[in-house]
Amino acid sequence: MTAASADLTVNGRRASFTALPDDERLLDTLRWRLGLKGTKEGCRTGDCGACTVLVDGRSTLSCLTLTREVEDAAITTIDLGAGDREVDRVRAAFAAAGALQCGYCTPGFVIALAGLLKERGRSLSLDEILDSLQGNLCRCTGYAAIARAAALAREAAP
Amino acid sequence: MSAFELVTPRSVEEAIASLRASDGTGSAPLAGGTDLLLDIDDGRAAPARVVSLRRLPWRTLDWVGGALTIGSTLPLRSLEDDPGVRAQLPGLYQAVHAVGSVALRHRATIGGNLGRSAPASDLIPMLLALDAEVDLVGPSAERRLSVNDFVRASRRTALAPGELIRSVRVPESRPSAYVWQRVRLANDISQIAVAVAYSPSGRRWSVAVGGMPPRPVLLPEVARGLGNARPTDPALRAAGERATREVTIAADQRASEEYRRRLVGTLLGRAVRSVDVAEGVHR
Ligand SMILES: Cc1cc2nc3c(=O)[nH]c(=O)nc-3n(C[C@H](O)[C@H](O)[C@H](O)COP(=O)(O)OP(=O)(O)OC[C@H]3O[C@@H](n4cnc5c(N)ncnc54)[C@H](O)[C@@H]3O)c2cc1C
Ligand code: FES
Ligand code: FES
């Protein structure tokens, strides 16, 4: 079958589809079936990081992931309300540091950084954080404010 | 309509059978999908059936003494996170860390990297220098090949129809290093890269160069020129010059021939100097 039913868990909610094409990307399911437009499409080739979501807590490029491949996983996107410790903390750090201009890259950065804090917590050095964010592109800020936000988010780690 | 049918077998036997069953219409195994899905988008691949490997029990990492066996579907991020890899195979750690970005490495696998067999693969040169082998399973017997025999050219390997890479075996821990040159630090591929490893048991060096078509290659003569311990500066310079002559340097969209020629010796010097032969520990 090439369009069977599918179940997905996104931001703690279960979503069911009666016919989901086998080749559908997670990015498209999130944006066009679920209307979760926070996750952005920048390049669709893995280069920009704008489409980053968490799959079982690990940062993942949703443009290069088949939806069916993550049916059993818990997916977290920027559209999540308040309540996730790391996402909340990184959002607050981005606001405090003024780390965005047009905002297109911001969901990807926030999710990538929140995922990194979940993965590594306080053991991360600032250099490692910045190295780990190399996969996210920003065309506006020049990265200085994003680096300040990363430092703030790290200091706020419990 | 979907461009392909996705099947998700629960056993290795079932996976091999699914790959075989669609012979003629074309099938492809899917690991992380970071190469395959782009090939499908660009029309370079058009399998009628895609066989997901995610339920196979191959996300493994096993140390036996100094030898490491890496399951083909282990995400690269898990390989990078293993403290043994960092300490015992520093060059492999550096090569894995060079691949894409964190989010990419959460899904990309070593099996997919070998399956794609890219000229600019960051893993293949290091696996060559470590004398790594691949274990294949398929419709007939299992077989073991050296990575050198497995890799042929871009998108061409020794895999037979229906065959899968089960694991990659690194025979011994080696002081080693992987250095590369690229335009962008992350999510870019290397213009040229050098992998070096020192075998304490054989008291010999291995050197491999990657980043250029048609495929990453071992340079046995250059390695011999490094002698059987830490080379002197003149020996290292001579090895660099030899490498510049021996590598068939090609130009492509990522770098000119001239640029690459200048870099080979520099990267070789940098790599060898960073390996601590005496300690067996990388600085
Ligand atoms: C933005 C971006 C940046 C990248 N940067 C780098 C980089 O810096 N360095 C680098 O080396 N690569 C890079 N790559 C390429 C790619 O991510 C790697 O080659 C990765 O290791 C592929 O693994 P995968 O599991 O995603 O492979 P897949 O896409 O799942 O598979 C790749 C190929 O191998 C086959 N295959 C997969 N698993 C098996 C198996 N077990 N047995 C037999 N065949 C198999 C598939 O059928 C397919 O032909 C990059 C890719 C992108 C999109
Ligand atoms: S849209 Fe996925 S990495 Fe750019
Ligand atoms: S704020 Fe505009 S791309 Fe980053």
Query: Does residue A117 line the site of ligand 3, with CB under 6 A?
Result: no
What is the structure's pLDDT at A158?
A: 62
Residue A43 has pLDDT above 60, yes or no: yes
Average pLDDT rounded to a whole number, residues A81-97: 95
Q: Are residues B126 and B82 in the same domain?
A: yes
Q: Same domain for B259 and B181?
A: yes
**What pLDDT is attached to residue A121?**
81
Residues B164 and B65 in one domain: yes
List Cβ neighbours of B81 (8 Å cut-off, separation of 6 or more): none
| CATH number (domain holding residue B38) | 3.30.43
Task: Tell me the pLDDT tens digit for each residue of B238-253.
Answer: 999 999 888 887 777 7
Number of domain units in chain B: 3
Residues B66 and B159 in one domain: yes
Residues B119 and B213 in one domain: no
pLDDT in tens, B55-111: 999 999 999 999 999 999 999 999 999 999 999 999 999 999 999 999 999 999 999
Residue among B174, B166, B241 nearest B11 (CA): B166
Q: What is the pLDDT of residue B247?
A: 85
**Is the pLDDT assigned to residue B281 strictly greater than 60?**
no
Q: Which of B154, B170, B186 is the last residue of a domain?
A: B170
Same domain, B45 and B68: no
Name the E strands within chain B: 5-7, 27-30, 49-52, 61-64, 67-71, 133-137, 143-146, 151-153, 156-157, 164-170, 176-181, 192-199, 204-210, 217-218
Question: Does ligand 3 have an atom closer than 6 angstroms to the CB of A103?
Answer: yes
Q: How far apart are CA A112 and CA A110, in angstroms?
A: 6
DSSP label of B172: S
Are residues B67 and B166 part of one domain?
A: yes
pLDDT band at B282 (very low <50, low <70, confident <90, very high): very low
Report whether the peptide linkage leading into residue B214 is cis, meaning its omega lies within 30 degrees of zero. Answer: yes
Q: Which amino acid is at A65?
A: T
Percentage of chain B beyond pLDDT 70 is 96
pLDDT at B22: 62
Q: Is B206 helix (H, G, I), strand (E, B) or coil?
A: strand
Strand pairing class (A74-76; A52-55): antiparallel
Q: Residue A56: CB within 6 Å of ligand 1?
A: no
Higher pLDDT, B44 or B279: B44
Question: Do both B165 and B88 map to the same domain?
Answer: yes
| Atom 4 in ligand 3: residue holding the nearest Cα | A138
* Domain housing B88: 61-170
Query: Which of A1, A2, A40, A48 would you mutate first to test chain B, the one with the most B CBs within 10 A?
Result: A2
ipTM: 0.96
CA of B45 to the centre of ligand 2 (A): 20
The CA distances from residue B252 to B120, B213, B219, B258, B267, in Å, are: 11, 8, 21, 11, 19
Nearest CB to A134; choose among B2, B32, B185 = B185
Choose the final residue of a domain: B15, B35, B52: B52
B256 — pLDDT class (breaks 50, 70, 90): confident
- CB of A60 within 8 Å of a chain B CB? The answer is yes
One-letter amino acid at B63 equals: W
Comparing A36-45, B16-25, B66-75, B89-98, the range with the smallest average pLDDT is: B16-25
Among all residues of chain A, which has the CA nearest to that of B39? A45
Interchain pair B2, A22: CB under 8 A: yes
How many degrees, rounded to 5, is the angle at CA B58 between CA B53 and CA B60?
Answer: 145
> Which residues are CB-neighbours of B184 under 8 A, at least 6 positions away?
A134
> Domains of chain A by range and CATH?
3-80 (3.10.20.30), 85-156 (1.10.150.120)
Backbone φ, ψ for residue A54 (5° rounding): -100, 135
Residue B281: other Cβ atoms inside 10 A: 12
Q: What is the pLDDT of residue B283?
A: 38
CB B202 within 8 A of CB B276: no
**Using 50, 70 and 90 to split pLDDT, how confident is the model at A1?**
low
**Residue B203 in this model has a pLDDT that exceeds 70:** yes
In a 10 Å sphere around its CB, with 0-12 CB exposed, 13-18 middle and 19+ buried, how is residue B57 labelled?
exposed
Report, as an integer, the average pLDDT of B41-51.
95
Tokens 């491949």 — which residue?
A69
Of the residues A20, A61, A67, A139, the best mutation for testing chain B's interface (the one with the most B CB atoms within 10 Å of its CB) is: A61
Amino acid type, B278: A
The arithmetic mean of pLDDT across residues B257-277, rounded, is 91
Q: Output helix, strand, coil percentages for chain B, rounded to the nearest 5.
A: 35, 25, 40
Is the separation of the CB atoms in A54 and A76 below 8 Å?
yes
Q: A3 is written with which tokens?
A: 């369009």
Mean pLDDT for A136-141 is 96
Task: Give, rounded to a whole angstrom, the gap between the first and last alpha carbons of chain A.
Answer: 47
pLDDT at A30: 98
Helix A144-155 crosses helix A106-120 at what angle (to 10 degrees)? 30
Asked whether A104 and A40 are in contact (CB, 8 A), the reply is yes
Kindly report the CATH number assigned to the domain that includes residue B205.
3.30.390.50
Q: What is the CATH number of the domain that holds B152?
A: 3.30.465.10
Q: Where a domain ends, among B142, B170, B198?
A: B170
Cβ A110 under 6 angstroms from ligand 3: no
CB contact under 8 A, B103 and A112: yes
Average pLDDT over residues A29-52: 97
Q: Is B8 on the interface with A (CB under 8 A)?
A: yes
- For residue B262, pLDDT over 70 is answered with yes
Mean pLDDT of all residues in A9-30 = 96
Same domain, yes or no: B72 and B30? no
Looking at residue A89, its amino acid is R
Q: Are residue B129 and residue B217 in the same domain, yes or no? A: no
Residue A157 has pLDDT above 70, yes or no: no
Facing residue for A22 by CB, picked from B6, B104, B185: B6
Contact assessment for residue A22 and residue A40, using Cβ atoms and an 8 Å cutoff: no
pTM above 0.90, yes or no: yes
Same domain, B101 and B162: yes
- Same-domain status, B69 and B166: yes
Q: Tens digit of pLDDT for each residue in B217-230?
A: 999 999 999 999 99
In single-letter form, the type of residue at position A2 comes to T
DSSP A9: E
Q: What is the pLDDT of residues B134-152, one digit of tens each?
A: 999 999 889 999 999 999 9
pLDDT tens column, A113-135: 999 999 988 788 999 999 999 99
Separation of alpha carbons B271 and B142, rounded Å: 36
